[in-house]
Amino acid sequence: MILDNRDSFTYNLAESFRKIGVKDVRIHNSNNFRIELLADYERVIFGPGPGLPEDHPLMFEILDSLKPHQSVLGICLGHEALAIHFGGKIRQLKRVFHGDEGKIRWKNAPDYLSKNVQDGFLAGLYHSWIVDEANLPEEIRITALSDEGLIMGIKHIDRPLFGFQFHPESFITKFGLQLLSNWYYQSL
């Protein structure tokens, strides 16, 4: 399931999952999703979107309703929501990234998440907010950083909850399909 937070990249995500062999990709609009539908899914994507995570309260309701076996991958806005849900904070950057290319370095990534993805891979960046390392909750571990030292990946220490600040579905991200495949096929 992909939660559409009113962003056109949602459809790029859906197509990326089809390319890695996922036959049944369902997109649910955040405006009309009923929480009881969550039980139908083992894997949930929080897609990117405009504004701040607080503008999209459904992501927090879903996180409160997850069963231990359900895995979440938050992308950009969804990544930020994961950190905030567990007590983290985000901060606004002085620079806006919009279709920029950045190098991503692994740090404490689960082996399966980084499998066949080189350290220092190029990724598409589309953000102006970032998870603040100074306020990172104990339950959250950094899995990837940019060359500037900005948090580009996180993981919950006990649950299959992951976030990428960068966009794996972007054509700029060189290992995007591999990253999505690693999460989809190995995260449970």
Q: Tell me the mean pLDDT per 10 residues along the chain, length 188.
A: 94 97 94 92 96 96 96 98 98 94 92 93 96 95 96 96 97 97 86
Domain membership of residue 48 as a residue range: 2-186
Residues 6+ apart with CB under 8 A from 150: 93, 130, 165
Looking at residue 32, its pLDDT comes to 84
133 is annotated as an active-site residue: no
How many Cβ atoms from other residues are within 10 Å of residue 21's Cβ? Answer: 9
DSSP 8-state class, residue 1: -
How many domains is the chain built from? Answer: 1
Measure the CA–CA gap between 54 and 107, rounded to whole angstroms: 28
Q: Which of 28, 56, 76, 79 is catalytic?
A: 76
Measure the CA–CA gap between 106 and 143, rounded to whole angstroms: 6
DSSP 8-state class, residue 151: E
Q: Which of 80, 127, 156, 169 is catalytic?
A: 169
CATH code of the domain containing 46: 3.40.50.880
Taken as a whole, the chain contains a residue count of 188
Amino acid of residue 15: E
139 is annotated as an active-site residue: no
Share above pLDDT 90 across residues of the chain, in percent, rounded to a whole number: 93
Question: Strand order in 90-106's β-sheet?
Answer: 27-29, 2-4, 43-46, 71-75, 161-164, 151-156, 140-146, 90-106, 121-131
Backbone angles phi, psi at 181, to 5 degrees: -65, -45
Q: Which of 28, 56, 156, 167 is catalytic?
A: 167
Looking at residue 187, its pLDDT comes to 66
Looking at residue 186, its pLDDT comes to 86
Amino acid of residue 177: L
167 is annotated as an active-site residue: yes
The alpha carbon of 105 is separated from its chain's Cα centroid by a whole number of angstroms, namely 16
Query: Inter-axis angle of helices 57-65 and 77-85, to 10 degrees?
Result: 60
Looking at residue 30, its pLDDT comes to 82
